[in-house]
Amino acid sequence: MDVSKKTDVSLVGLLDLVEASSIASIKGTVSGILSLISDPATSSFDLVQLIEVDPPLTAKILRVANSSYYATSKTISDIQQALIWIGSDTLKEIILAQKMSELYRGGTPVHGYSRLQLWRHSLAVALLAKAIYRREFGEKGNNAYAAGLMHDIGVIVEDQLLPQEFMQLVQAMEDTPQSLSGSETSFLGYDHCLVGMGLAEKWNFPDELMDGIGFHHNPEGAREEHRMFVKTIFIADYLMFEQGYGYVPVKLPDREILQQYVGDLGLQWYALRAIVALVREELGKIEQKGYLAV
């Protein structure tokens, strides 16, 4: 199938469409929680206040807090209790995941692609990136989780706002697996990394997260102070595609690039394999209990 450029919607035009679409409905909460994740001085009051102004989110958080996944014998009836039981870092991740999941509802699976598969991939990358930061770098990895969860936000923007063009693109990739970014650039004139970075800039995301979204396929293009962070997202993205947590039949970059970045970060393959196994186990539990539903 010919994948020559078939849309007249520019990148700027697409980002303008976002602001007038349902995608913009998550902007306030997502921007707010990212600010709280980035600020070590965040108080529990700030976190509770952010949740309680969004009744549907409050209900979801309480439902998750009372689920068997967190194994509490007592009923948690308010957000302050949920904060104490779950912990602020985990609660921030739940909030971000709950709001982001709203973008992946609906849609018709076609040509091997579905929004659920894209959400599954995003969550897998988030969990692996965070685990690498915690186990290998001794850091919390909250920003890595956020970047992993949001690294492909440009894809869902294309899916929702350029549905005909996006489905033609996905069909072309099913016929001939190739680089997603390369296919998008040929077909649309830009790729999901540029879309995601443009959205991150419009929504005032932290610079580190903006680079994680915009350069996760090309870490060397990121600002020098963020390259370790972006290479972690690249590694997590690559490995989860390789592990079967993908959403389109892509041709992955040369494995030598992956090996180079693993070496750049001082990671050991035996440690990475162990972390991937743990993340797969966690994802299995999440899927078994139905928490991947959007």
The whole-number pLDDT of residue 1 equals 42
In a domain, 145, yes or no: yes
pLDDT score recorded for residue 64:
82
Each residue's pLDDT, cut to its tens digit, for the chain (294 residues) gives 444 556 779 999 999 999 999 999 999 999 999 998 888 777 788 889 889 888 888 998 888 888 777 766 788 888 998 888 888 888 899 899 999 999 999 888 888 899 999 999 999 999 999 999 999 999 888 899 999 999 999 999 999 999 999 999 998 888 888 889 999 998 899 999 999 999 999 999 999 999 999 999 999 999 999 999 999 999 999 999 999 999 998 889 999 999 999 999 999 999 999 999 999 999 998 887 665 555
Q: What angle do CA 167, 172, 173 make, to 5 degrees?
A: 95
Residue 5: per-residue pLDDT: 53
Structural domain count, the chain? 1
> What's the pLDDT score for residue 263?
97
For residue 139, being part of any structural domain is answered with yes
In a domain, 44, yes or no: no
* 228: containing domain: 11-23+109-288
Residue 219 lies in a domain: yes
Amino acid letter, residue 260: Q
Domain assignment of residue 55, yes or no: no
Specify the pLDDT at position 292: 59
Asked if residue 148 belongs to a domain, the reply is yes
The token duo for 142 is: 């909250």
Contact predicate 239/272, CB 8 Å = yes
Note the helical H segments in the chain.
Answer: 11-19, 27-38, 44-52, 55-65, 79-86, 88-101, 115-136, 142-150, 153-161, 163-175, 180-188, 192-202, 207-214, 227-242, 255-264, 269-288
Work out the angle at residue 222's Cα, subtended by the Cα atoms of residues 141 and 159, and round it to the nearest 5 degrees: 80
Contact between 30 and 252 under an 8 Å Cβ cutoff? The reply is no
Residue 179 belongs to a domain with what CATH number?
Answer: 1.10.3210.10
Q: Is residue 70 part of a domain?
A: no
Predicted pLDDT at 254: 94
* Residue at 6 is within a domain: no
